[in-house]
């Protein structure tokens, strides 16, 4: 008997299904990006590939909102960005403040503690953002700290954390502001330079609509100086940014082999971003999200987050009383080929997470999710309300 486990191969069965990915990631990949991944593989020091690396770095500067020279995609998923941030800037005994308004904030705390940071935590109830005053008060109370880390777009709760004035406050007491922008990049402004963010990481698989596997990363001058001033060597070889900077920078010093086809995919996705234009792209995300909210509310479902703090890329909605979370998600997947996400941590079984990310942030997808939910939950009016909300923004 042959073992035909490779469903991804065109000549083998069964073929993988075409799911509509409306969860917290990965998001739908556009046809142009899929085709880019099928291009011939060239050597990673080929002159044509080096041109592509430069174009990718430029595209990343655009979506990050920065002129930082050290801007590159790390070879790994979004979590590799988190690991790199912590490994390069945390030294044992460093004092750090982690703002924890969800599951990913807790992961930053965990990663930093493993590297020996002395971590203070500022918590906010899940589903809310940290008020500015509370942040400034906490910083004054626990400071001075070398590092402050925060998740801009908390994918576990659907909350957008405002950062007005944060970088100035952190810099004033001699520290650096580190930001997780995984679910923000490509779907809303990250504004690394305008906000004064020192270190920022992201992921390829959310609003950039590239398969999982790359982690965009950018570093400002202040953070570079802190890296040069380290007392101890960086405790990871693969994610040592100084070495990676020599590979992606002018020297092209061999560090590791870039995942060539993934870089093609990111290049194609960034070209699509450039053609659409950032303002139009951000507006499309907001419009799709508002249509989704209107539809969910028309079905008498309760959104977890107050409107001013909602993400345009990820919506959290409470599972109604008497409804089994996993059963509904299973039906959506098996009968309708639609993926949405469940809750993480304390919100497990209590919410659904519906993504409107990148290539997926379109009305036809919102209507498909809502129609399927209407059928499965036995409720009415969602798809129609979404369509009306979408049309009202013309």
Ligand X SMILES: *Cc1c(COP(=O)(O)O)cnc(C)c1O
Figure out which of the listed residues 183, 218, 315, 356 binds ligand X, where binding follows CB under 6 A.
183
Figure out which of the listed residues 116, 162, 189, 212 binds ligand X, where binding follows CB under 6 A.
212
Figure out which of the listed residues 42, 49, 79, 120 binds ligand X, where binding follows CB under 6 A.
79
Residue closest to 147 by CA, chosen among 199, 211, 72, 216? 199
What mask of x and - would describe binding to ligand X in positions 91 to 120, judged by CB under 6 A? -------------x----------------
Q: Which is nearer to ligand X, 215 or 372 (CB)?
A: 215
Would you call 236 exposed, middle or buried from its count of C-beta atoms within 10 A (0-12, 13-18, 19+)?
Answer: middle
Q: Is the dihedral of CA 319, 320, 324, 329 positive or negative?
A: negative
- Determine the residue with CB nearest ligand X: 78
Residue 72 DSSP SS3: strand
In the complex, what is the shortest distance from the CB of residue 82 to ligand X, in angstroms, rounded to a whole number?
Answer: 6
CA distance 209 to 363: 16
In the complex, what is the shortest distance from the CB of residue 351 to ligand X, in angstroms, rounded to a whole number?
Answer: 15
In the complex, what is the shortest distance from the CB of residue 292 to ligand X, in angstroms, rounded to a whole number?
Answer: 18
Figure out which of the listed residues 30, 71, 205, 365 binds ligand X, where binding follows CB under 6 A.
205
Q: Which stretch binds ligand X (CB under 6 A): 45-53, 76-84, 87-95, 284-292?
A: 76-84
The verdict on 78 binding ligand X (CB under 6 A) reads yes
Q: Which helix (H) or strand (E) is 330 found in, with range?
A: helix 325-336
Q: How many helices (H) and strands (E) does the chain have?
A: 14, 14
User: CA distances (Å), 133 to each of 130, 157, 340, in order?
Assistant: 9, 21, 35
In the complex, what is the shortest distance from the CB of residue 106 to ligand X, in angstroms, rounded to a whole number?
Answer: 11
Give 312's Cβ-side CA count (13 Å radius).
19
The verdict on 359 binding ligand X (CB under 6 A) reads no
Footprint of ligand X on 12-51 (CB under 6 A): 25
Q: Which is nearer to ligand X, 215 or 288 (CB)?
A: 215
Residue closest to 22 by CA, chosen among 287, 340, 342? 340
Q: Which stretch binds ligand X (CB under 6 A): 73-81, 117-125, 334-342, 381-389?
A: 73-81
Footprint of ligand X on 143-182 (CB under 6 A): 151, 155, 180, 182
In the complex, what is the shortest distance from the CB of residue 102 to ligand X, in angstroms, rounded to a whole number?
Answer: 8
Largest separation between any pair of C-alpha atoms in the chain: 68
The verdict on 186 binding ligand X (CB under 6 A) reads no
Q: Which is nearer to ligand X, 138 or 205 (CB)?
A: 205
Listed in sequence order, the residues at least 6 apart from 246 whose beta carbon sits closer than 8 Å to its beta carbon are: 253, 255
Tell me if 293 sits within 8 A of 316, measured CB to CB: no
Would you call 278 exposed, middle or buried from its count of C-beta atoms within 10 A (0-12, 13-18, 19+)?
Answer: middle
Footprint of ligand X on 237-256 (CB under 6 A): none
CA distance 211 to 241: 23
Q: Which residues contribute to the site for ligand X (CB under 6 A)?
A: 25, 77-79, 82, 104, 151, 155, 180, 182-183, 203, 205, 212
């Amino acid at each position: 008997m042959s073992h035909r486990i490779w469903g991804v191969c065109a000549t083998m069965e069964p073929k993988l299904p075409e799911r509509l990915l409306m969860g917290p990631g990965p998001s739908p990949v556009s046809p142009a990006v899929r085709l880019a991944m099928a291009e011939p593989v060239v050597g990673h020091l080929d002159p044509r590939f080096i041109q592509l690396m430069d174009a990718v770095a430029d595209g990343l500067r655009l979506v990050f909102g920065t002129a930082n020279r050290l801007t590159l995609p790390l070879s790994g998923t979004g979590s590799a960005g988190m690991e790199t941030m912590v490994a390069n800037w945390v030294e044992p005994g460093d004092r750090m403040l982690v703002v924890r308004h969800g599951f990913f904030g807790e992961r930053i705390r965990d990663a930093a503690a493993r590297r020996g940071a002395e971590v203070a935590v500022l918590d906010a109830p899940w589903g809310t953002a940290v008020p500015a005053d509370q942040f400034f008060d906490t910083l004054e109370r626990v400071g001075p700290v070398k590092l402050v880390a925060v998740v801009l777009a908390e994918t576990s709760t659907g909350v957008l954390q405002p950062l007005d004035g944060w970088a100035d406050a952190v810099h004033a007491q001699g520290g650096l502001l580190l930001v997780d922008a995984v679910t923000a990049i490509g779907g809303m402004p990250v504004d690394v330079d305008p906000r004064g963010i020192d270190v920022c990481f992201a992921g390829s698989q959310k609003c950039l609509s590239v398969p999982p596997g790359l982690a965009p990363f950018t570093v400002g001058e202040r953070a570079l100086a802190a890296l040069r001033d380290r007392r101890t060597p960086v405790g990871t070889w693969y994610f040592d940014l100084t070495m990676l900077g020599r590979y992606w920078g002018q020297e092209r010093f061999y560090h590791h082999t870039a995942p060539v086809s993934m870089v093609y995919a990111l290049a194609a996705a960034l070209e699509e971003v450039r053609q659409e234009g950032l303002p139009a792209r951000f507006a499309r995300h907001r419009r799709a999200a508002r249509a989704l909210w209107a539809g969910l509310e028309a079905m008498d479902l309760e959104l977890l987050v107050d409107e001013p703090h909602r993400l345009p890329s990820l919506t959290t909605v409470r599972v109604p009383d008497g409804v089994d979370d996993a059963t509904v998600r299973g039906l959506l997947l098996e009968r309708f080929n639609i993926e949405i996400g469940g809750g993480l941590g304390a919100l497990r079984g209590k919410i659904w997470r519906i993504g409107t990310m990148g290539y997926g942030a379109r009305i036809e997808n919102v209507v498909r999710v809502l129609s399927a939910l209407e059928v499965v939950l036995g409720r009415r009016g969602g798809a129609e309300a979404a369509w009306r909300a979408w049309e009202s923004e013309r």
